[in-house]
């Protein structure tokens, strides 16, 4: 208890000293976010309750776009041929700083704001990755910068991008192709997390594709010799994938989801379908594995004497790290200080940990130091990676759930609908806004971030891994 009290006192003292050094514009960002706080929480909770999945985020996109419009930003809806994608801009000229906002949910993990598993609507979707907070927070930061521009304190253009379908389909790839970052100098992004840190780790590149097998139906008992089973091909294919796992790079991953394996037991199926995903920390290493897994589909079709078809869904790049941007973000996190939690919030966090069989240590409130960037990071993938190969990207993680909480689970949904999530959302808005101030005020910082971006990208020519228009309606 004494150690905790000492830590809190030291943190408050450090925050007090940092606040004294904070510039007028950064103080204005904090004031703006506080002014909009109640509305931002309302927006986040509204998106949390709607829990709309990929390309179906009609209500979620509209509540964000409407609030941007209400606050004097120019909104363009339906960009990149995606009905739920939009931009909200303010200002003119350089620099142009963009901020990302996501708002799609995950299927099947509906949950009340309760520390025990309790669906809000059984079978429905839920925000198990915190995107309800992501969109609202980023918009709050953009509005704070807009107000500084309106007051004449900053010059340039602020651009909020409402980006749907991150969990499935990866809409940012089509948005990049549509040129929505062509005029941007630096992009800012964040992601809900279980800790506060300037994120200087990459993610995994991946590619998604659909494999379909076409055979011939027959009675499964009376004349199975007249049938050519598509599900046989599917099983042979997945067996091949599973044997192949031993021989891929230790950094690579292969996933699949059977979407159709036949309808009834007494019919030889003439159709089977599965969704396949290949990942690796480096796109260059992921692509050969992808080609091999595709070739295996032909082998399975030959063995089962059926036809097959492969359709590309989309693919995304690994995130291009920017440590110079991370340093700017880190300084602002240290200036902000840690998030503080009430006894009730700590108890809620421990209850979540108990329910998910994790150590009951409560919330992680500290600011992590800037890490060394790993060559082969684990973890997930994001279409922010494609943005990062086209414009310098600065990324942030902020606590919205207790330590060790399983992500993409009901536990994150629960925290995102109550004060723990609200606090993280507000904190992220402040950190993003303060970092944007640094970029608008100091062109040398933009130059350093851009120099690193060009060095890390090297001679790589970005090629979007899509084939055709966004698959609207495929969800």
pLDDT, tens digit, 9 for 90 and up, residues 110-158: 999 999 999 999 999 999 999 999 999 999 999 999 999 999 999 999 9
Chain centre to alpha carbon of residue 82: 18
Q: Where are the alpha helices (DSSP H) in 356-418?
A: 384-388, 410-416
Q: Compute the half-sphere exposure of residue 140: CA atoms within 13 Å on the CB side of its CA.
A: 35
Closest CA to 23 of 343, 437, 307, 365: 437
Distances (CA, A) of 324 to 211, 376, 393, 430, 449: 42, 20, 10, 19, 5
d(CA 27, CA 430): 10
Do residues 196 and 398 make contact, with C-beta atoms less than 8 angstroms apart? yes
The tokens of 6 are what? 């000492």
Buried b / exposed e over 95-130, threshold 16 CB at 10 Å, is: bbbbbbbbbbbbbebbbbbbbeeebbeeeebbbbbb
* Region at 465 (left for phi over 0; alpha for psi -120 to 50; beta for the rest): beta
Question: Whole-model pTM?
Answer: 0.93
User: Residues near 392 by Cβ (< 8 Å), separated by ≥ 6?
Assistant: 185, 186, 187, 322, 325, 449, 450, 452, 453
Do residues 40 and 433 make contact, with C-beta atoms less than 8 angstroms apart? no
d(CA 376, CA 285): 12
d(CA 357, CA 95): 48
Do residues 142 and 184 make contact, with C-beta atoms less than 8 angstroms apart? no
Unique residue bearing structure tokens 């069989």: 357
> ∠357-360-362 over CA atoms, to 5°?
125
Chain centre to alpha carbon of residue 137: 14
214-246 confidence digits (pLDDT tens): 999 999 999 999 999 999 999 999 999 999 999
Do residues 353 and 318 make contact, with C-beta atoms less than 8 angstroms apart? no
**DSSP character for 239?**
H
d(CA 216, CA 227): 5
Q: Is 192 helix (H, G, I), strand (E, B) or coil?
A: strand
Q: Identify any residues that bridge with 18 across adjacent strands, giving them in sequence order.
A: none
pLDDT of residue 379: 85
Unique residue bearing structure tokens 């059984």: 122
Do residues 271 and 212 make contact, with C-beta atoms less than 8 angstroms apart? yes
Q: What parts of the chain have a pLDDT lower than 70?
A: 1-20
d(CA 214, CA 47): 40
* Region at 229 (left for phi over 0; alpha for psi -120 to 50; beta for the rest): beta
Q: Is 166 helix (H, G, I), strand (E, B) or coil?
A: coil
Closest CA to 176 of 323, 316, 283, 280: 316
pLDDT of residue 6: 45
**Which CATH fold would you assign to the domain 210-316?**
Alpha-Beta Plaits (3.30.70)
The tokens of 195 are what? 């800790």
**DSSP character for 397?**
E
pLDDT of residue 19: 52
Q: Compute the half-sphere exposure of residue 3: CA atoms within 13 Å on the CB side of its CA.
A: 0
Radius of gyration of the chain (CA): 24
**Which CATH fold would you assign to the domain 2-203+318-457?**
Aminopeptidase (3.40.630)
d(CA 346, CA 360): 10
d(CA 109, CA 48): 12
Any idea where the domains of the chain sit in the sequence? 2-203+318-457, 210-316
d(CA 30, CA 144): 8
Do residues 98 and 159 make contact, with C-beta atoms less than 8 angstroms apart? yes
């Amino acid at each position: 208890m004494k150690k905790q009290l000492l830590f809190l006192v030291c943190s408050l003292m450090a925050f007090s000293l940092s606040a004294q050094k904070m510039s007028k514009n950064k103080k204005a960002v904090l004031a703006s976010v506080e002014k909009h706080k109640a509305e931002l929480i309302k927006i986040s909770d509204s998106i949390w309750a709607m829990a709309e999945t990929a390309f179906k985020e009609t209500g979620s996109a509209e509540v964000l776009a409407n609030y941007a419009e209400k606050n004097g930003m120019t909104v363009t809806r339906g960009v990149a041929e995606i009905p739920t994608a939009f931009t909200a801009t303010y200002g003119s000229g350089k620099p142009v700083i963009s901020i990302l906002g996501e708002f799609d949910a995950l299927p099947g993990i509906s949950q009340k704001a309760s520390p025990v598993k309790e669906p809000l609507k059984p079978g429905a979707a839920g925000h198990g990755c915190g995107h309800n907070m992501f969109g609202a927070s980023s918009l709050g930061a953009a509005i704070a910068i807009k107000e500084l521009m309106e007051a004449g304190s900053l010059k340039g253009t602020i651009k909020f991008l409402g980006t749907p379908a991150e969990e499935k389909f990866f809409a940012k790839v089509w948005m990049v192709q549509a040129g929505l970052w062509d005029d941007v100098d630096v992009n800012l992004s964040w992601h809900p997390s279980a800790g506060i840190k300037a994120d200087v780790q990459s993610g995994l590149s991946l590619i998604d594709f659909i494999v379909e097998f076409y055979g011939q139906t027959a009675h499964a008992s009376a004349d199975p010799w007249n049938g050519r089973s598509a599900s046989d091909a599917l099983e042979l294919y997945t067996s091949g994938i599973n044997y192949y796992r031993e021989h891929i790079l230790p950094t690579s991953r292969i996933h699949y989801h059977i979407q159709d394996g036949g309808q009834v037991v007494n019919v030889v199926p003439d159709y089977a379908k599965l969704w396949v995903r290949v990942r690796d920390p480096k796109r260059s290493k992921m692509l050969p594995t992808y080609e091999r897994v595709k070739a295996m589909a032909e082998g399975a079709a030959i063995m089962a004497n059926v036809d097959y078809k492969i359709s590309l869904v989309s693919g995304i790049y690994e995130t291009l790290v920017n440590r110079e941007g991370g340093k700017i973000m880190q300084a602002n996190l240290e200036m902000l200080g840690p998030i503080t939690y009430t006894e009730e919030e700590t108890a809620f966090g421990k209850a979540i940990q108990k329910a998910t069989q994790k150590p009951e240590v409560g919330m992680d409130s500290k600011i992590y130091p800037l890490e060394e960037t790993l060559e082969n990071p684990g973890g997930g993938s994001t279409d922010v990676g494609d943005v990062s190969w086209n414009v310098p990207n600065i990324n942030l993680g902020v606590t919205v759930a207790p330590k060790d909480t399983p992500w993409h689970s009901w536990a994150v949904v629960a925290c995102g609908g109550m004060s723990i999530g609200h606090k993280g959302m507000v904190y992220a808005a402040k950190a993003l806004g303060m970092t944007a101030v640094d970029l608008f005020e100091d062109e040398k910082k933009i130059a350093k971030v851009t120099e690193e971006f060009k060095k890390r990208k090297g001679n790589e020519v970005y090629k979007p891994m899509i084939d055709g228009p966004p698959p609207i309606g495929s969800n």
